[in-house]
Amino acid sequence: MFSGAIVAIVTPFKDGMIDEKAFRDLINFVITGGVSGIVPCGTTGESATLSHKEHKHVIDITVDEVGKRVPVIAGTGSNSTTEAIRLTRHAKDAGADAALLITPYYNKPTQKGLVEHYKAVASACDIPQILYNVPGRTGVNMSSATVVELSKIDNIVGIKEASGDLVKCSQIVRDTQDDFCMLSGEDALNYPILCCGGAGAISVTANVLPDRVSALCAAWYALDIPTAKKIHLELLEINQTLFIETNPIPVKTALAMMGMMHEEFKLPLCPMGDANKKMLASVLKRYGCIS
């Protein structure tokens, strides 16, 4: 259902408020760059520190500006099932095409608890839903067996897998139906996950280089494997550099260096250290993002 280079878009701020102009400009930049979908209010969009009002506003802006040019997959997950249901209902009402639901974080549910959580959201919200497994952030790792069980629910249509476990990715692809989409959640593994049967990626790097991440996926689907591999290797350095500090600090700093937004975060996220910022600038120059 969803495939290709989908951008996990940042949320620009200015003086503590959502910078709507910068956000709309960024949406158009990534669409022009060829992305096949946009995820607002994900980890990269600082969802954990957005107020509920801000969260809904970001999704509303995205749906409005995208104007059905590409699918909008709204981040609506929470460590509270009732809150996840409320946010997912809003995403549907706002016109989003799907919802991305991170595993509940901090409270560390069991695998049974994960199944019950996602079943409850799926039952309450008639919108396509994508699971999101990122144990390095949440403290809980969804097993492949849990994913397979949840994939049998009609409106659970895929997973963003960011555990870094290619064996798990392969098991999920093997044990789910062909229309269940496996999406990479780690840019350095976009190509390997495609090789495992993945459908695409929800990418941080696509904020900065939407054309190159899109070209990698396009080459793969055109069966131009040498080109896909070449782009993967070319992107490796920037994929790694955009995670030298906690995401989305480096990618927002990169976009600020590119003149696309203010270098502003919501606490407890803070500006990069000087040494890392210098390293980031050097890498961006090598990729032609800044002069």
Distance CA 22, CA 175 (A): 42
| E strand intervals along 72-222 | 73-75, 98-102, 129-133, 156-161, 181-184, 200-203
Tell me whether residue 160 is one of the annotated catalytic residues. yes
Q: Which residues of 111-124 are buried (b: 16+ CB within 10 A; e: fewer)?
A: eebbbebbeebbee
Query: Residue 32: is it exposed, middle or buried by C-beta count within 10 angstroms (0-12/13-18/19+)?
Result: exposed
Per-residue confidence (pLDDT) for residue 47, from 0 to 100 = 95
Judge contact between 214 and 35, C-beta under 8 A: yes
Distance CA 232, CA 281 (A): 21
Tell me whether residue 108 is one of the annotated catalytic residues. no
Each residue's pLDDT expressed in tens, for the chain with a length of 291 residues:
799 999 999 999 999 999 999 999 999 999 999 999 999 999 999 999 999 999 999 999 999 999 999 999 999 999 999 999 999 999 999 999 999 999 999 999 999 999 999 999 999 999 999 999 999 999 999 999 999 999 999 999 999 999 999 999 999 999 999 999 999 999 999 999 999 999 999 999 999 999 999 999 999 999 999 999 999 999 999 999 999 999 999 999 999 999 999 999 999 999 999 999 999 999 999 999 999
Per-residue confidence (pLDDT) for residue 1, from 0 to 100 = 74
The 3-state secondary structure of 158-202, one letter per residue: EEEECCCCHHHHHHHHHHCCCCCEEEECCHHHHHHHHHCCCCEEE
Q: Letter for the amino acid at 38?
A: I
pLDDT tens across 52-67, in order? 999 999 999 999 999 9
CA distances from 169 to 40, 99, 117, 174 (A): 24, 21, 22, 9
Tokens 């955009």 -> residue: 242
Distance CA 263, CA 256 (A): 5
CATH number for the region 4-222 comes to 3.20.20.70
Distance CA 170, CA 192 (A): 10
| Opening angle at CA 239, ends 238 and 244, nearest 5 | 85
CA distances from 265 to 17, 108, 283 (A): 10, 27, 22
Per-residue confidence (pLDDT) for residue 128, from 0 to 100 = 98
Distance CA 109, CA 112 (A): 8
Question: Which residues share a beta bridge with 247?
Answer: none
Cβ atoms within 10 Å, residue 231 = 23
Judge contact between 199 and 158, C-beta under 8 A: yes
Query: Residue 244: is it exposed, middle or buried by C-beta count within 10 angstroms (0-12/13-18/19+)?
Result: middle
Judge contact between 113 and 79, C-beta under 8 A: no
Q: Letter for the amino acid at 11?
A: T
Q: Which of 14, 56, 119, 132 is catalytic?
A: 132
Per-residue confidence (pLDDT) for residue 254, from 0 to 100 = 98
Q: Which of 160, 168, 252, 277 is catalytic?
A: 160
Per-residue confidence (pLDDT) for residue 238, from 0 to 100 = 98
